[in-house]
Amino acid sequence: MTNTIISKKPKITTMRNSYVLMLSLICLFVVPVNAQVPAGTRPMNFSLNEARDYALNNSPVLLNSARDVEIAKKKIWETTAMGLPQASINSSYSYSPQLAGLSDQLGEFIPDFNPDDLKTSFLMSAQIDQLVFSGPYIIGLQAAKTYAYLSVLAESKSKIGIIENITNTYFTALIARESKNILDSTLVAAQKTLFESEQMYKNGFVESTDVDQIRILESNIRSSLSVAERQIGIVERMLKFQMGIPIDQAIVLTDQIDPLIGLMSLEVAVIDSFRLQNNVDYRLMDLQEKLKEYNLKYSKSQYLPTVRGFYSYYKSLDNNFFNDQSPNTYGLSLSFPIFSSGQRISQVSQRKLEYMKSKTDKETGAESLLLQYESALSIFLSAQDVFNLQKVNRDLSLKIYKKSNTKFREGIGSSLDLNTTQQQYFDSESKYFSALMSLVAAKSKLESLLSDQ
């Protein structure tokens, strides 16, 4: 942009506030931006889709979600193993230096008996236990499998959130770059206008105050440009954080704004494609209800008996005369709960109320999701209309500004008109970028609701 900017009463404060407003829309988080890229580090190039894919494989949030899934799988086996055979081996050794009672006199009555053999005892035993029937075990195994699926759905929800965040931050970074480009071209135009105004002042065509106003305007644009450069660093660092890239790694965003804007429209088929049963939040609520139901069944199963089978092998490793225990033993054990002073009844009542609450939560949650979808669709359609309107306004204001600048150079336009049209152009740019971010956020939210991961 090589336009001359001059005005007798430039609206410097208003224009600067407009820049601050536009750039504040870009700033999402405040983080340090002074880290230096190590020498020799090659920049990583990312389109929007590549940034999403990279985040799905490297985001710290998703890495922990994947670990939660693995923990849940191990929990299933832990619960399953409780009903499988359990084996143990035990051994003991004891020594009594002094015998008591008649033990040391038994040799007088029993031939070939040495009382010192009673001073030591050395034995070994092995036992195998097998759970035959347990109501809590059966219910616990079913609940563990449901919990594992719950962790899978939680991971899916994290992925949907990551994709939404990456999309919004990627667009924000592109807008930050575009804003800087506009300020760069505006600064060049302001510097040229300042130079021409100084020459006109030397020749007596303008007053010193006109030159001072242009100088202030040029200084404000330079200051806004410095802020814009810092905002670019902030947003790109946030994008790298979300993607799981080291903060000091240089990246290059290869997509351009205009081609991505073409993807902002929705097909008619998509608008009516919301299915409650496919929504991840609804499926999470459904699983929560099932887990509450398992809790109720688990409490009821406390009334059932528990049956266990066992086998034990016993062997004495010394010459103890009195050891007559059988080496092999088989058996069953039965535990049947009879009376708990109302404790189990209270537990069942609590679990039943919690289960009823979860059913109500699921019903209200389903209605809330339907309202969220309708609201998100309405917001998106409105944002699309506003964006299209602001795009037209921006193009018109740019056209008016260029025409006003031409008139001023030709001496048939006033500096006041030039300043007004320039301010109008900056305002329209700010509103255009704001409308674009609203459209991106609305589209991302709608896609999150429609996602069936």
What are the DSSP calls for 391-427, one per residue? HHHHHHHHHHHHHHHHHHHHTSS-HHHHHHHHHHHHH
pLDDT at 28 over 50: no
Per-residue pLDDT reduced to its tens digit, 292-313: 999 999 889 988 898 989 888 8
Question: Mind listing the pLDDT tens digit for each residue in 89-108?
Answer: 988 877 777 665 555 555 55
Largest CA distance in the chain: 143
- The token pair at 82 is 């409780």
pTM: predicted TM-score of the whole model, two decimal places: 0.73
The CA distance from 446 to 444, in Å, is: 5
- Output the pLDDT for position 260: 86
> What amino acid occupies position 68?
D
Question: Predicted confidence band at 409 (pLDDT cuts at 50, 70, 90)?
Answer: low
Closest to 6 (Cα-Cα) out of 417, 430, 424: 417
Fold annotation for 12-99+121-450: Outer membrane efflux proteins (OEP) (1.20.1600)
pLDDT 10s digits, 349-386 = 998 999 999 999 999 999 999 999 999 999 999 999 99
Give the count of beta carbons closer than 10 Å to the beta carbon of residue 275: 10
pLDDT of residue 21: 39
pLDDT at site 31: 38
